[in-house]
Amino acid sequence: MAEAARSKFSINVFEAFGEKLRRNNKGYMEYIKKIEEINFENPIIRMQDSRYLDWIEDNSIDALLTSPPYGDSGTTVAYGQFSRFTLEFLDIQDKIKANQVDNYLLGGKKSDNSLTLADINSPTLNKTIQIISEKDHKRGEEVLKFFIGYFETIREYSRILKQKSKVVYIVGNRTVKGVWIETDRITKEMFANFGFQLKGIYVRGIPNKRMPSKNSPTNITGEKVTTMVNEYIVVMERH
């Protein structure tokens, strides 16, 4: 907000906060009512590494709906930083300390796998990594590390999903070293390795976005790139 606008800006914080609470409570009660009407079974909630779902049987899941990380936590969205206060406040630190979350996320320092780019049949990813690596080899390796973990999750999901199952992935395309990473297309190509066909890719603006629409990752005056302003909903079906 411009300084001139800030001087004229005034809001009753308690009133605004109270209105949000009332709105959220109303939505929550409506949600509970619908859940009761549908008569869902109680959900099973686990803190689990999605690359290793050995507690789920092969070919046993009808559908998957998820929004995976948009990129590695260190350079894209600070997932570890965002979650740290909540994890410490609620003391949810049985397996992982709140200040070490980033090490265990996709592309984290403690990822342990033997996959290479050659093992992933994604022409879009191959081209993307090549272009980024030509500009900055280290950044190319970091992006590849994230997508290797990303592929591992897709491989595991494909193991547990049935024939005719549906997959909905909500992803964000981003820019690294001025290179546009088409995560939606990469996702489609990765799932195609396991017999999934694309039903559609749908684009929508990210609601309540707090990040700026442009930033300057090089810190060079006037040199800016577009940040993530859209989500891409990738819908696949197994045949």
Q: How many CA atoms lie within 13 A of 183 on its CB side?
A: 27
pLDDT score for 2: 84
DSSP of 169-212: EEE--EEETTEEE-HHHHHHHHHHTTTEEEEEEEEEEPTT--S-
pLDDT tens, residue by residue, 138-178: 999 889 989 999 999 999 999 999 999 999 999 999 899 99
The residue written with tokens 């990765």 in the block is 190
CA neighbor of 217 nearest in space, from 172, 171, 174, 173: 174
Element holding 7 (H helix, E strand): helix 3-8
The whole-angstrom separation of Cα 8 and Cα 74 is 37
How far apart CA 51 and CA 56 sit, in angstroms, is 12
Give the whole-angstrom CA distance, residue 13 versus residue 83.
Answer: 24
pLDDT at 222: 46
pLDDT at residue 69, rounded to an integer: 86
Residues 132, 176: contact at Cβ < 8 Å?
Answer: yes
- Its pTM stands at 0.77
**pLDDT of 51 strictly over 70:** yes
Identify which has the larger pLDDT, 173 or 209. Answer: 173
Contact call for residues 139 and 207 (beta carbons, < 8 A): no
Instruction: Say yes or no to pLDDT of 65 above 90.
Output: yes
Whether 221 shows a pLDDT value over 50: the answer reads: no
Of 8-17, 35-44, 74-83, 127-136, the range with the lowest mean pLDDT is: 74-83
Nearest to 109 by CA among 141, 67, 154: 141
C-beta contacts of 78-86 below 8 A and 24+ residues apart: 79/105, 80/105
Cβ neighbours, 10 Å, residue 228? 20
pLDDT band with cut points at 50, 70 and 90 for residue 109: low
